[in-house]
Amino acid sequence: MRIGFDATTVRPAHSAGIEAFCYGLLGGLAAGPHDLTVQVIAGTGDEWRRRVTADGIAWSEVHTPLRTDTRVGRLLRRHTPGAVASSVALRRGVNLVRQWGRPQSCGADVTLYPFAAAPTHADPAVIVLHDLRHLHPEFGSPGFAEVIRRNVARAAAVVVSWPHPYAEAVRAFPEARDRMTLIPLPAFHAAATTSTAAPEPGLLLYPSSTARLKNHATLLEALALLPECRLVCPGPLVEPEASRLLARADQPDLRGRVSFPGFVSTTELASLYARASAVVVPSRWEAASGAMLEAFSWGLPVACADSEPLLAQLDFTGADAAVFPAGDPAALATAVRQVLADRDRYASSSRAAGVLLAGRTWADTAADYAAVLAWVVAGRPGPVPRSAFASTLTSRGAR
């Protein structure tokens, strides 16, 4: 089977969870008996090869204009009014410019698109719908929402990554239910070994991009109420929120206790998990929080917001966390003190959830994806393939 993989929406060190997903899935697919061609942004091929070391991948670099991760793009993103930046008109214009002149096909039997908010351009296409936040006015963008709707209508198959967004996608697109399937992911940065080192007292960790829905602003106000704690927030510095957060972190009540190191290596991130006392996830919306899954893998206590997807994540893993209202800094501070005061209990619960998830590998995930891709190439005979691991998670969540 000749598989195309369109990664032109992903720039290494700038795309947070979506790039970790791509690295893991590509490694898994490359281990199978497939011809795999991956399209990436021009100039990033060497970095992709460094991060995905598997043999058997043909890399194709594609010129992609109007990037937001260049110096000019970051300035425009910082200063463009939100209503304009999220508008349908702007998104249509950007997509037309980006699509003009690019190759329409890489000779694949089927093409996988890991980011459903970018237009597909080859048929048959399989899109990955990690979550539907862009369909929520308070979190998303009308421009991206339009693209997602068109992609779902056009796609030969739709893959969703976690039980909560899958249920939401079935409700939003009932006409696509027969070609929609749930394929859960492993923890992106799982613990390689169990750490025996004592955690640094009061060290809190929140790995995430600084997109506004990640809710770092509430976390910083909570930290002002926690003078005994320090906070490290690794991840891409996404404007315009990054500048506001860095300015707040430099105020006297937080100065020296908050760090935004930007995108860090896997080794550096592992070192942070090994040293942390707890992981805090204040996000207002997620598909499923990678930081929470990684905390379970490392056996770290978790304090998380009462966002619907995060509560669903606790439900299907059976984990216990200190939950707080997403917009309440005082409640967040109380939750942090709660997990630090009863750290052994919360850590034990995280370890139990980590055991449930530990059996999920990128090879397993790639096998599930390959089954869906083969189903599309064969003309979609019978029902869409289902992941056995997905059945395990959804049955737990139903209890």
Q: Which long-range contacts (CB under 8 A, 24 or more apart) does 55-64 make?
A: 55/30, 56/30, 57/26, 57/30, 60/103, 60/106, 62/8, 62/102, 62/103, 63/101, 63/102, 64/8, 64/98, 64/102
Read off the DSSP letter of residue 122: S
For the segment 344-364, what is each residue's pLDDT rounded down to a tens digit?
A: 999 999 999 998 888 889 999
Across the range 210-228, mean pLDDT stands at 96
- The dihedral through the CA atoms of 105, 106, 109, 110 has a sign that is negative
Residue 254 has a pLDDT of: 97
* Closest C-alpha to 22, from 43, 47, 48: 48
Rounded Cα distance between 215 and 328, Å, is 11
Mean of the per-residue pLDDT values for the chain? 88
Domain regions of the chain by residue span: 2-186+361-394, 203-358
Over 90: is that where the pLDDT of 368 sits? Answer: yes
Read off the DSSP letter of residue 177: G
Share of the chain above pLDDT 70, in %: 86
For the segment 270-283, what is each residue's pLDDT rounded down to a tens digit?
A: 999 999 999 999 99
pLDDT band at 83 (very low <50, low <70, confident <90, very high): low
Across the range 188-215, mean pLDDT stands at 85
Angle between the 343-358 and 290-298 helix axes, to the nearest 10 degrees? Answer: 100
Residue 398 has a pLDDT of: 47
Superfamily of domain 2-186+361-394: Glycogen Phosphorylase B; (3.40.50.2000)
Does an H or E element contain 102, and which? none
Across the range 309-317, mean pLDDT stands at 92
Residue 399 has a pLDDT of: 47
Domains 2-186+361-394 and 203-358 share a fold: yes
Question: Which CATH fold would you assign to the domain 203-358?
Answer: Rossmann fold (3.40.50)
Across the range 281-300, mean pLDDT stands at 93
- More confident of the two residues 324 and 394: 324
- Predicted TM-score (pTM) of this structure: 0.84
For the segment 193-204, what is each residue's pLDDT rounded down to a tens digit?
A: 655 668 999 999
Integer distance in angstroms from the first to the last C-alpha of the chain? 39
Read off the DSSP letter of residue 43: T
Please classify residue 297 by burial: count the beta carbons closer than 10 Å to its beta carbon, then call 0-12 exposed, 13-18 middle and 19+ buried. buried
Residue 362 has a pLDDT of: 93
Over 70: is that where the pLDDT of 205 sits? Answer: yes
Q: Using an 8 Å Cβ cutoff, are 272 and 260 in contact? A: no
Residue 289: CA count within 13 A, CB half-sphere: 33
Residue 127 has a pLDDT of: 97
Residue 363 has a pLDDT of: 94
Over 90: is that where the pLDDT of 90 sits? Answer: no
Residue 92 has a pLDDT of: 62
Lowest-confidence pick of 41-45, 84-88, 210-214: 84-88
For the segment 24-36, what is each residue's pLDDT rounded down to a tens digit?
A: 999 999 998 989 9
